[in-house]
Chain A
Amino acid sequence: MQMKRRTFAKGLMAGAGLVAAPRLITSARAADPFKAAWIYVGPVGDFGWSYQHDVGRKAVEAALGDQVKTTYVESVPEGADAERVLRDLATAGNKIIFATSFGFWQPALKVAKQFPDVKFEHATGYKRADNLATYNIRFYEGRYIQGVIAGKMSKSGIVGYIGSVPIPEVIMGMNAFLAGMRTIRPDAKIKMVMINAWYDPGKEADAAKALIDQGADIVAQHTDSPAPLQTAHDRGIKGFGQASDMIKFAPDSQLTSSIDHWDDYYVTRVKAAMDGSWKSGDVWDGLKSGMLKMAPYTNMPDDVKALAEKTEAGIKSGEIMIFIGPMKAQDGTVKIAEGQMLDDGAIAKMDWLAEGVEGQLPK
């Protein structure tokens, strides 16, 4: 039966049905697989942000098998094109669509209005609708653990931090890293370099070299490629991976890596869309729910490893708060008073660098 329908569909496409819109083929039948789609800003071969989302898509296929049919469109520019791609995906019968980059928020909002029956999900965004949910990972939790490890492992107390473009996600990560590091070394400093491009492994490597030359003995990154970690490995110092476990690229250097783990979230949401229990909302989870995972703690003494594990457990249990006072900005103004903590809104909008970060944000 399954076989037959597929042949029929292909016949339509190939032969007489040239003028028939794809809609005809996808007109729902009871046993048709549920269609879910993803759009990525980069190629799936970037081994970073988009690659990791595609790992999540494959997890949906693995978990739900024949019940789902997944589709993805890669390298969709964050400009005028995204709206068309989203609309075409909805027209093609996809019932849940994940837009996995910040710049897709406006197209997702527009297309969600046009297709009230289709569920939309927008990663890292803040605009929601009845059929448009948002979701993100608390990456900064992993940064804090990295900072604690760096505090123990660094001799110079200087960390080199490579970012793409100074957005709140990068800023909160840097501040969390420093907060973690300063629990061990109150004099810790971060030197930052922005490559001002979304993707350029060569420049990421160059940036790591420059930071190491300026005295950094730990490399952290908010860019996606393994290049900075490879550089650290080459120079015989330690560093952290990003997005996926990069231990293969730096077996003697990677201390740990913050792994974006979209798999479970995607499976849960697609299932919810299938059984009708899907609701719009905002999910911003981290270590506790498993959306963020830490790669094994390697290349460090046992006491540091134990401390890292304890920190991880503390964040999971809620014992350790990350953005908790006192915390000062670069210019010394108190940003979080003693005994206070930042709420999620303030964290999400963070636009100040903590005391100890060198470098300037555009005003």
Chain B
Amino acid sequence: MPFRLEARGQNSVLWSWLSPVIAILATLIVSTALFAAMGKPAGDALYTFVVAPASSLNGLAELGVKAAPLVLIGVGLAIGFRANVWNIGAEGQLILGAIVGGGIGLAAGDREGFWILPAMILGGAVGGALWAAIPALLKTHFNASEILTSLMLNYVAQLLLIYLVVGPWKDPEGYGFPQTRLFGDAATMPILISGTRVHLGVLAALIAVALGWLLHAKTLLGFQLRVLGQAPRAAAYAGFSGAGLTWFALLLGGALAGLAGIFEAAGPIGQLTPSISPGYGFTAIIVAFLGRLNPVGVLLGGIVLALSYLGGEQAQIALGLPKAITGIYQGVLLFFLLAADLLVGYRIRLVKRVPAGGAA
């Protein structure tokens, strides 16, 4: 191989900002070629995927609505991943948050009361955290890998949701369709910018980023989580409780995913149905790493992914391209973004002569 990677020793601040720019430019070049191959004018790729979705107030508002659950979940997962806690179950935790918070909203019915929304939001967080407590318990007491348990619980949560909306919680006026009643006015997330769909959950995502950053950068707990992830032995010597930190990471991740669930259900959706989330719990894993496991980075990562979803819709609406193109575009974008991170930590040195049997 004609190049060698040399560690910078310290991450380059310049490149940490420049590398995503390079990645996005590279993506545009590739997607322009892709569009050309599909018989579309070259400029369309840029316009459709980047400009069109964000070219109006409403477009920006929708970007926020789409990014909010990804960011909310991503912040929690990033903190967990730093501590080597592999929560793959955010999707299920999101669903349980919607179920518990939504259950409170349904019980409130058409009642008025300032307490209803806070109770639902709290219920969402508790529901998500309790669902995440199962893998935490099985990990700390029975040594069962949280990767498997949290993943399997996603399916269980989805089936539980189906049971509730076709069974006991089914809307009696809903012609038997799988849905609950609509949440009452007092149980619906307020709209923050009138004329758009920007709801309380968007603000909550921003608050989560701020608090996540404080925890990450300014507290002892954040430090302990990082040490646990980087050097579990050192953490043990230092007397940090591995089990305690595992609990913390899972409960926090679960609570944030649960919040995302109740904000979606009682926000733009307005009721419980079998499809609260189009896989936010999985996409948020990408968002967490795209943000380099840093809460502020998660915010940017969430926006980039949300933009690619909105762009994909535009590609279908304005250009008549199939959704498959969006998947390929998103894949390529992520590949470039993830690969360009190399430049943050490493210098690329060209090597003139490769010694025989060198690195493959």
State the A residues within 8 Å of B (CB).
Answer: 10, 13-15, 18-19, 21-22, 37, 43-44, 71-75, 77-81, 83-85, 87-89, 92, 102-103, 106, 126, 165-168, 171, 196, 348-351, 361-363
Can you pick out 7 interface pairs between chain A and chain B where the beta carbons lie within 8 Å of each other?
A13-B41, A13-B318, A18-B43, A21-B56, A78-B275, A103-B275, A126-B175
Chain A contacts for B323, CB-based, 8 A: 43, 73-75
Closest residue on chain B to residue A75 by CB atoms? B323
B317 to A73, Cβ gap below 8 A?
A: yes
- Chain A proximity of B327: nearest CB distance (Å): 10
Those of B46-92 within 8 Å (CB) of chain A: 46-47, 51-52, 55-56, 58, 62, 65-66
B275 to A79, Cβ gap below 8 A?
A: yes
Chain B contacts for A72, CB-based, 8 A: 316
A79 to B273, Cβ gap below 8 A?
A: yes
A79 to B278, Cβ gap below 8 A?
A: yes
Closest residue on chain A to residue B277 by CB atoms? A79
A349 to B175, Cβ gap below 8 A?
A: yes
Closest residue on chain A to residue B263 by CB atoms? A80
A88 to B47, Cβ gap below 8 A?
A: no
Chain A contacts for B163, CB-based, 8 A: 362
Interface size band for B: 35 or more
Known: A14-B47, A78-B273, A103-B275. A84 touches B313 (CB 8 A): yes
- CA gap between A87 and B65 in the complex, in Å: 15
Chain A contacts for B276, CB-based, 8 A: 79
Contact pick for A80, options B42, B65, B176, B179, CB 8 Å: B65
Known: A74-B323, A79-B278. A88 touches B314 (CB 8 A): yes
- Chain A proximity of B231: nearest CB distance (Å): 41
A362 to B166, Cβ gap below 8 A?
A: yes
Interface string of B152-164 (1 = CB under 8 A from A): 0000000100110
Check B223 for interface membership: any CB of A closer than 8 A: no
B41 to A79, Cβ gap below 8 A?
A: no
State the B residues within 8 Å of A (CB).
Answer: 41-44, 46-47, 51-52, 55-56, 58, 62, 65-66, 159, 162-163, 166-168, 175-179, 182, 197, 264, 267-271, 273-278, 309-310, 313-314, 316-318, 320, 322-323
The 8 tightest CB contacts between A and B, nearest first, are: A362-B167, A14-B43, A77-B278, A80-B268, A168-B176, A78-B275, A14-B41, A73-B316
Chain A contacts for B159, CB-based, 8 A: 196
- Which of A88, A106, A363 is packed against the most chain B CB atoms within 10 Å? A88
Chain A contacts for B42, CB-based, 8 A: 14
- CA gap between A232 and B48 in the complex, in Å: 46
Chain B contacts for A44, CB-based, 8 A: 322
Chain B contacts for A361, CB-based, 8 A: 166-167
Chain A contacts for B44, CB-based, 8 A: 13-14
Chain B contacts for A37, CB-based, 8 A: 317
B176 to A349, Cβ gap below 8 A?
A: yes
- CA gap between A167 and B175 in the complex, in Å: 9
B197 to A83, Cβ gap below 8 A?
A: yes
Chain A contacts for B62, CB-based, 8 A: 84
A85 to B175, Cβ gap below 8 A?
A: no
A102 to B43, Cβ gap below 8 A?
A: no
B55 to A19, Cβ gap below 8 A?
A: yes
- Chain B proximity of A66: nearest CB distance (Å): 16
- CA gap between A308 and B330 in the complex, in Å: 50
B275 to A168, Cβ gap below 8 A?
A: no
- Which of A18, A80, A84, A166 is packed against the most chain B CB atoms within 10 Å? A80
A168 to B175, Cβ gap below 8 A?
A: yes
Known: A80-B268, A81-B278. A10 touches B41 (CB 8 A): yes
- CA gap between A73 and B179 in the complex, in Å: 24
Chain A contacts for B177, CB-based, 8 A: 102, 167-168
Closest residue on chain B to residue A88 by CB atoms? B317
- Chain A proximity of B50: nearest CB distance (Å): 10
- Chain A proximity of B289: nearest CB distance (Å): 23
Chain B contacts for A106, CB-based, 8 A: 182, 269-271
Given contact pairs A71-B316, A81-B313, A167-B178, enumerate 8 new A-B contacts (beta carbons under 8 Å): A14-B44, A19-B51, A77-B275, A78-B273, A83-B268, A102-B177, A362-B163, A362-B167
Closest residue on chain A to residue B61 by CB atoms? A84
- Chain B proximity of A245: nearest CB distance (Å): 24
Chain A contacts for B271, CB-based, 8 A: 106
- Chain B proximity of A19: nearest CB distance (Å): 7
Closest residue on chain A to residue B182 by CB atoms? A106
Chain A contacts for B268, CB-based, 8 A: 79-80, 83
- CA gap between A101 and B47 in the complex, in Å: 30
- CA gap between A19 and B44 in the complex, in Å: 12
- Chain B proximity of A81: nearest CB distance (Å): 7
A21 to B313, Cβ gap below 8 A?
A: no
A71 to B275, Cβ gap below 8 A?
A: no
Chain B contacts for A85, CB-based, 8 A: 313, 317
- Chain B proximity of A218: nearest CB distance (Å): 26
Closest residue on chain A to residue B159 by CB atoms? A196
- Which of A13, A14, A196 is packed against the most chain B CB atoms within 10 Å? A13
Chain A contacts for B58, CB-based, 8 A: 87
- Chain B proximity of A103: nearest CB distance (Å): 6
Chain B contacts for A14, CB-based, 8 A: 41-44, 47
- CA gap between A13 and B269 in the complex, in Å: 33
B41 to A92, Cβ gap below 8 A?
A: no
Chain B contacts for A103, CB-based, 8 A: 179, 273, 275
- Chain A proximity of B208: nearest CB distance (Å): 18
- CA gap between A85 and B311 in the complex, in Å: 11
- CA gap between A74 and B326 in the complex, in Å: 11
A73 to B47, Cβ gap below 8 A?
A: no
- CA gap between A68 and B181 in the complex, in Å: 38
Closest residue on chain A to residue B51 by CB atoms? A18
Chain A contacts for B267, CB-based, 8 A: 80
- Chain B proximity of A359: nearest CB distance (Å): 13
- CA gap between A247 and B161 in the complex, in Å: 36
